[in-house]
């Protein structure tokens, strides 16, 4: 019975309620098993891998609204979950890591406290701004122009509907070279404009949006730079791109361009090795959202941390009643 419950607890898609009903035990029995598992999970990480990544997610526990995720992106492992992402808290946590001077890369976003923590606690490490995050700045600026122009049209007009449509919005945010028009044509067959091909709709949007057309190609030029250049070439390309467009004084893009410029040193570090990204971390955060949703939230951070680490890493309690994770999986 206990082995089956622990097998179920590994599955982040299953709630406590589902597990106790499925196994015909009390909720207290399942919670006690979880507490037994938690008792064997180390309170902190002592040794860190060569490459680590920082991120956060919305926790909404009694310990705070946000939680910090420490990952090993190369080996695709969740290293730890912390209840606080504030600079002082993280500095205190990493003080106990024996090999912090051996960390070579820290991957994260453009959150200033993470950079400061890296500079203080990992003086030999390069800080890498993940591509997803700086590309998002450009995409959001482009979307800001779309929203501004959408508001200029009557809600019943074709122009308004074109700009409001979620599929059209997703097209604008995609890299042109990655768009599979055949796939989008299939999607549009059950959509609202069956008489027009998606590519034609897309071109119509760019014709309607007098302020968006140039900015769309600005976005495409930026994506061309980061997808087709090595580190040795990309700095000059980004500098030229920023200088060409910051003079145009487009409100939605000014802040994005300034942000890219301010973080350029750390953006360039993302070209050292394309494996150094937060892709695994973003995937982990999506799974955490599922775990929280099926569990209707976790107010106790201890339970939330324990369930995440157990689900994603298979960490088991040191209790003599527990089985090794490999033994459990072999009995599936």
Residues 59 and 107 in one domain: yes
3-class secondary structure for 44-112? CCCCCCCEEEEEEEEEEECCEEEEEEEEECCCCEEEEEECCCCHHHHHHHHHCCCCHHHCCEEEECCCH
Tens of pLDDT, residue by residue over 174-210, are 777 666 655 555 555 554 544 455 667 777 777 777 6
Query: DSSP state, 298?
Result: -
Residues 84 and 147 in one domain: no
Domain count, the chain: 2
Does 209 map to a domain? Answer: yes
Does 332 map to a domain? Answer: no
Nearest by Cα to 107 from 52, 158, 64: 52
Residues 217 and 138 in one domain: yes
Residues 141 and 250 in one domain: yes
Does 16 map to a domain? Answer: no
Tens of pLDDT, residue by residue over 221-266, are 888 888 876 666 888 889 988 888 777 788 888 888 899 999 999 9
pLDDT given at position 315: 56
Computed on alpha carbons and rounded to an integer, the radius of gyration of the chain in Å comes to 24
- As averages over each run of 10 residues, the pLDDT of the chain (332 residues) reads 91 92 93 93 94 95 93 94 96 95 96 97 96 89 87 89 82 71 55 56 74 78 81 83 82 88 94 84 90 88 94 57 38 36
Output the domain CATH number for residue 285.
3.30.420.10
Query: What does the alpha-carbon distance between residue 171 and residue 146 come to, in Å, rounded to a whole number?
Result: 12
Tokens of 181: 């028009």
Residues 144 and 252 in one domain: yes
Does 12 map to a domain? Answer: no
Does 201 map to a domain? Answer: yes
Q: Which long-range contacts (CB under 8 A, 24 or more apart) does 261-268 make?
A: 263/110, 263/129, 263/134, 264/235, 264/238, 264/239, 266/110, 266/115, 266/127, 266/128, 266/129, 267/129, 267/134, 267/238, 268/231, 268/234, 268/235, 268/238
| Domain end marker among 251, 268, 285 | 268
Query: From residue 18, how far is each of 104, 136, 155 by CA, in Å?
Result: 43, 37, 44
Residues 137 and 230 in one domain: yes
Query: What does the alpha-carbon distance between residue 191 and residue 205 come to, in Å, rounded to a whole number?
Result: 17
Three-state DSSP class for 4? Answer: helix
Name 239's Cβ contacts closer than 8 Å, sequence gap at least 6: 264
Does 243 map to a domain? Answer: yes
Residues 183 and 308 in one domain: no
Query: What does the alpha-carbon distance between residue 104 and residue 166 come to, in Å, rounded to a whole number?
Result: 41
pLDDT given at position 322: 38
Domain that holds residue 175: 131-268
Looking up tokens 């300034």, which residue turns up? 258
Residues 211 and 307 in one domain: no
Cβ count near 100 (within 10 Å): 17
Residues 117 and 140 in one domain: no
Could you tell me the sign of the dihedral formed by the alpha carbons of 196, 199, 202, 208, in that order? negative
Asked whether the beta carbons of 260 and 134 are under 8 A apart, the reply is yes
Residues 205 and 140 in one domain: yes
Residues 162 and 287 in one domain: no
| Domain end marker among 245, 268, 291 | 268
Does 256 map to a domain? Answer: yes
Does 206 map to a domain? Answer: yes
Name 291's Cβ contacts closer than 8 Å, sequence gap at least 6: 12, 13, 307, 308, 311
Residues 198 and 143 in one domain: yes
Asked whether the beta carbons of 172 and 144 are under 8 A apart, the reply is no
Asked whether the beta carbons of 64 and 124 are under 8 A apart, the reply is no
Query: DSSP state, 127?
Result: E
Query: From residue 71, how far is each of 122, 259, 268, 278 by CA, in Å?
Result: 15, 25, 21, 9
């Amino acid at each position: 019975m206990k082995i089956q419950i622990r097998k179920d607890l590994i599955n982040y898609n299953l709630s406590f309620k589902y597990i106790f009903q499925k196994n015909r035990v009390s909720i207290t029995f399942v919670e006690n098993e979880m507490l037994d598992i938690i008792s064997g999970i180390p309170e902190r990480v002592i040794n860190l891998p060569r490459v680590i990544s920082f991120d956060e997610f919305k926790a909404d526990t009694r310990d705070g609204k946000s939680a910090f995720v420490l990952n090993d992106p190369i080996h695709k492992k969740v290293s730890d979950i912390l209840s606080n992402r504030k600079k002082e808290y993280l500095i205190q946590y990493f003080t106990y890591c024996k090999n912090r001077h051996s960390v070579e890369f820290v991957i994260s976003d453009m959150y200033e406290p993470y950079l400061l923590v890296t500079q203080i606690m990992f003086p030999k490490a390069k800080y890498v701004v993940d591509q997803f995050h700086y590309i998002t700045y450009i995409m959001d600026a482009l979307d800001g122009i779309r929203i501004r122009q959408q508001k200029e049209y009557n809600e019943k007009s074709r122009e308004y509907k074109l700009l409001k449509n979620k599929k059209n919005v997703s097209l604008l945010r995609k890299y042109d070279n990655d768009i599979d028009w055949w796939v989008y044509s299939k999607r549009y067959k059950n959509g609202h404009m069956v008489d027009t091909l998606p590519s034609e709709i897309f071109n119509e949007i760019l014709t309607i949006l007098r302020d968006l057309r140039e900015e769309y190609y600005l976005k495409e030029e930026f994506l061309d730079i980061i997808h087709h250049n090595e580190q040795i070439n990309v700095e000059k390309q980004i500098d030229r791109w920023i200088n060409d467009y910051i003079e145009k004084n487009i409100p939605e893009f000014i802040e994005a361009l300034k942000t890219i410029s301010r973080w350029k040193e750390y953006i360039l570090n993302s070209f050292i090795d394309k494996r150094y990204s937060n892709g695994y971390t973003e995937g982990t955060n999506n799974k955490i959202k599922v775990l929280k949703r099926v569990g209707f939230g976790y107010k106790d951070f201890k339970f939330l941390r324990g369930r995440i680490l157990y689900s994603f890493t298979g960490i088991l309690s040191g209790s003599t009643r527990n089985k090794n994770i490999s033994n459990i999986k072999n009995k599936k």
